């Protein structure tokens, strides 16, 4: 199965891989993927385009007219960061962000 629909992966696949620019960047199960990013996904008010080195901005969204960023962060955070439940989409976006520079 080759898809960009993450929900299909969650519902149909026991194992999956992520390929970035022809290179395999992850081979895992949905459970292992979620465990890797568990308690590391936060929602914070949108900031400048620069993030701390330990963060990867995954998505931007508007909630009640205010702009927020979903971020992967494995360091200590302040009270502006609200933990959210990690999803396979978060895992995919995190893996695609790694080594993006």
Question: What pLDDT score does 75 carry?
Answer: 87
For the stretch 8-22, pLDDT in tens is 888 899 999 999 999
Q: Compute CA 54 distance to the chain's CA centroid, rounded to the nearest angstrom.
A: 13
HSE-CB at 50 with a 13 A cutoff on CA atoms is 2
Secondary structure of the chain in HEC code, one letter for each residue: CCCCCHHHHHHHCCCEEEEECCEEEEEECHHHHHHHHCCCEEEEECCCCCCCCCEEEEEEEEECCEEEEEEEECCCCCCCCEECCCCHHHHHHHHHHCCCC
* Residue count (the chain): 101
Tell me the pLDDT band of 28, cut-offs 50, 70 and 90. very high
Please, which residues have CB within 8 angstroms of residue 4's CB and are 6 or more apart in sequence? none
For the stretch 66-76, pLDDT in tens is 899 999 998 88
Tell me the pLDDT band of 55, cut-offs 50, 70 and 90. confident
């Amino acid at each position: 199965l080759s898809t960009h629909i993450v929900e299909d992966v969650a519902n149909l696949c026991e194992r999956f891989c992520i390929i970035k620019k022809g290179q395999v960047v992850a081979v895992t199960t949905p459970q292992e993927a979620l465990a890797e990013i568990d308690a590391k996904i936060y929602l914070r008010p949108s900031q400048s385009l620069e993030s701390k080195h330990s963060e990867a901005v995954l998505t931007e969204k508007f909630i009640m007219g205010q702009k927020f960023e979903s971020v992967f962060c494995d360091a200590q955070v302040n009270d502006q960061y609200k933990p959210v439940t990690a999803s396979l989409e978060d895992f995919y976006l995190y893996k695609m962000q790694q080594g993006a520079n």
